Every structure is written in C-alpha cells, then in structure tokens.
Structure 1
Amino acid sequence: MGPSPGPAGGGGWVQKLVTFGLIANWILSSAGLILFNKWLLSSGGFPFPVTLTLLHQSFCGLVAVVALKLKLFECAAMERRDYLRGVVPIGALYALSLWFGNWAYIYLQVSYVQMLKAFMPAIVFVIGVTLGTEKFTWSLLWVLLWIAFGVLIASFGEVHFSAVGTVIQLSSLAFEATRLTLLQILLQRKFNPMTAMYYLSPITALFLLILFIAKEFSAVAQVIGDANPYVLLLNCCCAFVLNIAVFLLVGKTSALTMNVSGVIKDWLIIASSVLIFGSTLTRLNVLGFTIAFTGVLFYNYHRRNLKEREQPSSAPKADADEENQHLLEPQETPAPAQDR
C-alpha cells in the first residue's frame, strides 16, 4: 500500500491558502494606501505629496531602526562602498518616483493613473536594454507596442485629461523603472523586509527632506497645525503594512504571480475610485485599459517562457530563485513600495 496522500495534500492546500492570503493582503494594502493618499492629497486637506512620502519613509525607517535596536531581526552588513554605489542612487530615484507618483494624483483621477501604470513594462524594457540588463527581442517589442496602443486609447477617452499630470506620472514610471533596474543587484542579497527598510528608507527620506525644504516647507509650516496627526499616523502605518506585505509576497511567490495579481488590484482600484471619488470612466477608457492589460498578461507569460528556455533543465530551482529576484515587471511590485 502506498503512502497516504493526506498530509501532502493537506500541506498543499495550506500553502495555497497562505499564498492566497498574502496576495489578498498585498492587494488590499496597496489599494487602500493609494485611495488613502488620493483622499489626503485631493480633498483631505493635505495637498503635499513630498511631505506625505517623507512621512512614510521616515516612519518606516524609524520602525526599522527601533526593531534593530531591540534585536527583533538580524541585519546583513553592507560595506560603505556598496552602500554609496548601490543604496544611495536607488534612494534618490525612489524619492523622485514617490514624489512624482503622489504629485500626479493632484491632477489625475485614480483610475487614469492606474491605466498609465500599464505602460511600465515598456519603460522597464527600454531602460533595461539601454543599461544592458534586458535583451532586445522583436517579440517583446510587439507586445509592448500593443500595451502602448491600449494606453493611448485610454488617454484619448480620459474625460479629465491633464497633460501636466500625465507627464508627471510617466516621469514617475521612468524613475521607478530605472530604480528597479538598479535594484536587481541589491536584491541578490536577499534582504528580509526590515533589513531592506533599514537601508533604503533613511536615505530615501534624506533625499525627500531636501525636496521638502525646497518645495513645500513654507506652505506646510503655515497649515501643519490644522492637520490631524492621527490621520497622518494612520496613513504612515498603512505604508508600513504595505512594505511588509510586498516583501512577504515576494518571498513566497513569483514575479509572475505578483504581476497577474496586480491586474486584479488595478481593476479593484479603478472600481473603488469610481465608487468613492466619483471618477468618470468612458468606453474608450475601459477598452484601452483592457487592451493594455491583456498585453501586460501576455508580456509576463512571454517573459516567463523566455526565462524557462534560457535556464538549464538541470537547475529548476535556480530558475525559481531568479524569477523571485527579477521583479522588474509592472505594478510597483518590488520592495519597498509604500504608496504604489
């Protein structure tokens, strides 16, 4: 008589439930923070995107430092040379990405911002080919042109279109794509969530502080007394929760799983923006968004097949590790992503 399939089967179901829970946690955390930020910046009486992201990074960095002092996690050592060459540029790009990403919500509907994010694979591909981390293939190029076509249709159908807001959001995606390309090397260290926040959040906050002093200090100083500290603290806690959710999902699933889940997240955010903020959707919006994200799904599928063909058949585990490591697909998947 063969071994009973009960334990293995039970373990498989448990793993599936854990994975589903991690995906649901990430979707709800990300969607919740995006809608929370939109409300704060547009109608919540706090229209300061740099200040908001500075608070997020400072809070996450502070939590990481306190946790390290309490010895709640082990922190991998990093040489100063690696820090200056690796973490500092990533921190600068991340600061710009977060600033521009939140800034765009002042000009654009949440639904349209999510549609523009579908253009992320194309930007990552172009920057990756330029920096030598991506291989040019005609098949991928045609898929990316398909995505761009869908985004273009969605833009034509946008009722509250803003050229300034669109440029700001695309600039945010460009900064983010460059950051993700540089992040490949850093992710090879396989940092845990708290270690990543310990290294990345303080330097990102430093760059945001410079922007804050240059852009928003005088305006914030005039109204900071009217701001509700409990609302801002809750917003920072949401950013921290999203950080943890991203890293947990990355550690337990693959980039493909995360990106496909990101499509569900974007539909949820768009539907929520219509219900909560009264965002206007046109038929061209829906058509363009559907075309773009059909391309995103095929892009992820095609990339997965390319990686499987490139990997030796005798090293399936290496393939899985590499997929978890290369998080350069759309939907702000890599970590940390406080307000994506």
Structure 2
Amino acid sequence: MKTMIPWTTIWIVFSWYGSNIGVLLLNKYLLTYCGFKYPIFLTMCHMLASSLLSYVAIAWLKVVPMQTIGSKKQFIKIFGLSSVFCFSVVLGNVSLRYLPVSFNQAIGATTPFFTAVFAYVMMKKTESWVTYLTLLPVVAGVIIASGAEPSFHLFGFLMCVSATAARASKSVLQAILLSSEEEKLNSMNLLMYMAPIAVVILLPATLLMERNVIAITMALARKDTIVVYYLLFNSSLAYFVNLTNFLVTKHTSALTLQVLGNAKGAVAVVVSIIIFKNPVSLMGMLGYSLTVVGVLLYNESKKGNK
C-alpha cells in the first residue's frame, strides 16, 4: 500500500516554500522598487522580529524545549556565529539591490562548493574524488549563467558570492564550535540567542552607515503607509523561514529536505521572473540548470559516502 503524506507535512512544506520565496521577493521589492535602499536596517528588522518571535515560540508556545547557554565560552562561540550570520544576511540583502532574484538564486546554489572548501580549510575534512568532481558543474553553471546574465552587476555579484560563502562558513563553524553534546543547541534555540546579538551588532552599523534611515522610512510611510506593513510582514516572514525550515527538517527526512530545497530555488527563480519580468537568456537558464544538476549529484555522492 502507498504511504499517504500527512496533510500537516504538506502544509508545513508549502509554508516553508511560501515564507522563503515571499521574504526573498519582498526584500527585492523593498530594496529596488520602494525607494527603501537600506539593507542593513532591513536585516536589523529581520533580526529584531526573530528575537521576539523566537522567544514567544519557545517560552510561551513551547514549540521546542528551551535550552540555556551553559558557559561564557559557549556564549562567545554563539556571538562569533551570530557575527558571521549577520554578515551573510546583510550581504545577501545588499546583492538584491543590484541583481535579479533569479541570478541571486543561481549564485546561492553554489553553497555546497563553499561548504566543501571551508570544511577542508577549517577542519581538514576531505571528500571522495567523486564528490569533488560533482562540484565542477556547480561552479561551471554559475560561470555560464554570469556570462549570459543580461542584468549582471559586478558589485552585486561579489556581494552575493560573499554572502553565499559566509552562509557556508557559518554552517562549518557551527559544526566546529558547538560540537560537544552539552553545547549543542537546536536551530530554534540557536536563533533565539543569535538574533538579539545580531541586533546589537547591526544597530551601530545602521547608525553609522545608514544615518537617516529612520527619518526616510517615516517619510516613505507618510507618503504610503503600506511601506510600514511591508516591513512588518517581511520581518515576520524572515522568522517564519527559520521556523518552517526547522519543522520541515522535523517532519521529513534529510534526503527529502535536500530535494525540496533544490526545487525551492527553481520555483523562486520562476516566480521572480514572472513577477519582476527581469530579462533572462537561454544560456543563463542552462547555466543555472547545470548548477542545480551539480548540486543534486553532490548530494547523491555525499549520501553514498555515508
């Protein structure tokens, strides 16, 4: 008999897709089309919402049991992770000012390449030659897509590559820093502690680099109050990306998560092209497809090595 997929799991997966793609498209819309050109402040709003909603979800709604920070050493490790996390999100938001979402997603798909590089540099962890071979189409696909991208912007490209590298380094650092059983935190508790640290880091950066952001945001809101609603909804979605990612991981297998993640990137590309109508080339789409195929092969090779 065929195993039926529970409706709860289906709803969680759709929510995961909706929150991921929604926050990406709203970031792009706010930073490019609303006159709101403040990626650091936007990231701080995301982190502030994640701080509040994480606490509500864990302390009040009991989504997961609350875990505590056991030592000063563990706090310093979480502070380091939060700094890298901040860096990656800010750079990702900066890149959206200059690149279409479709190209942003193509570059983001190269995360396995950077993860393999950082795992070797930081942990001396090696993979099989087959695994390294699968990374060639991952990189080659982005090179092809970059050369054929009608809206290519060098600064945006460098910011997006840096954001992707920072995301990969954060996952490797997390494996190194929080490796002992007493220090391990589930993703929801880790976010609850990382988000307020990120706010503390981002607040002075916002005041120094985006000095008039509050006044300009208020001026934009006076012209059209919907900007405020966009910001609030966008910040809440940024938290639900993490919540639904945790729930998908809990309700499905690691393999299912990988497959769904790859499909999510492709869906985001299609939806963004339909909404923003950014020009794409056949060669660019072929390059992105090659990267996705490379990622699938990489995941298969990793699964075979376990």
| TM-score normalised by structure 1 residue count | 0.81
The answer to whether residue 178 in structure 2 is matched with residue 156 in structure 1 is no
The answer to whether residue 110 in structure 2 is matched with residue 119 in structure 1 is yes
Task: State the match for 1:202 in structure 2.
Answer: 196
Compute the RMSD of aligned alpha carbons: 2.2
Q: For residues 86-131 of structure 1, what are the alpha-carbon distances to aligned partners after superposition, in whole Å with 9 as ceiling and x for unaligned?
A: 2111100010000000000111011100111121111110001111
Q: Which amino acid aligns with 1:58?
A: L
Q: Specify every segment of 5 or more residues in structure 1 that has no aligned partner in the other structure, as ranges.
A: 1-8, 308-340
Question: Residues 296 and 238 from structure 1, CA distance in 2 versus in 1: closer, same or farther, beyond 3 angstroms?
Answer: same
Deviates further, 51-60 or 234-243: 234-243
Which residue of the other structure, out of 3, 15, 21, is the alignment partner of 1:31? Answer: 21
Q: Percent of aligned pairs with the same residue?
A: 28
Give distance in 2, aligned partners of 1:181 and 1:193: 14
Give distance in 2, aligned partners of 1:84 and 1:190: 12
Deviates further, 18-27 or 144-153: 18-27
Which residue of the other structure, out of 34, 39, 49, is the alignment partner of 2:39? Answer: 49
Task: State the match for 1:322 in structure 2.
Answer: none
Contact 1:23 / 1:258 at 8 angstroms: preserved in 2? no
Three-state SS of the structure 1 residue aligned to 2:66 is coil
Question: Residues 297 and 209 from structure 1, CA distance in 2 versus in 1: closer, same or farther, beyond 3 angstroms?
Answer: same
Q: For residues 12-55 of structure 1, what are the alpha-carbon distances to aligned partners after superposition, in whole Å with 9 as ceiling and x for unaligned?
A: 4244x443333222112101110111101100231111111100
Task: State the match for 1:244 in structure 2.
Answer: 243
Cα distance, 1:65 vs structure 2? 3.4
Cα distance, 1:137 vs structure 2? 2.7
Contact 1:53 / 1:99 at 8 angstroms: preserved in 2? yes
Q: For residues 34-89 of structure 1, what are the alpha-carbon distances to aligned partners after superposition, in whole Å with 9 as ceiling and x for unaligned?
A: 01111011002311111111001111102233556647464212123343332111
Count residues with an aligned counterpart: 297
Three-state SS of the structure 2 residue aligned to 1:217 is coil
Task: State the match for 1:3 in structure 2.
Answer: none
Deviates further, 212-221 or 31-40: 212-221
Three-state SS of the structure 1 residue aligned to 2:110 is helix
Give distance in 2, aligned partners of 1:46 and 1:222: 8
Contact 1:133 / 1:181 at 8 angstroms: preserved in 2? no
Q: Which amino acid aligns with 2:24?
A: I
Three-state SS of the structure 2 residue aligned to 1:296 is helix
1:1-340 maps to which residues of 2 (within 5 A)?
12-15=3-6, 17-66=7-56, 70=60, 72=62, 74-132=65-123, 134-184=125-175, 186=178, 191=185, 194-227=188-221, 228-307=227-306
Q: Which amino acid aligns with 2:116?
A: F
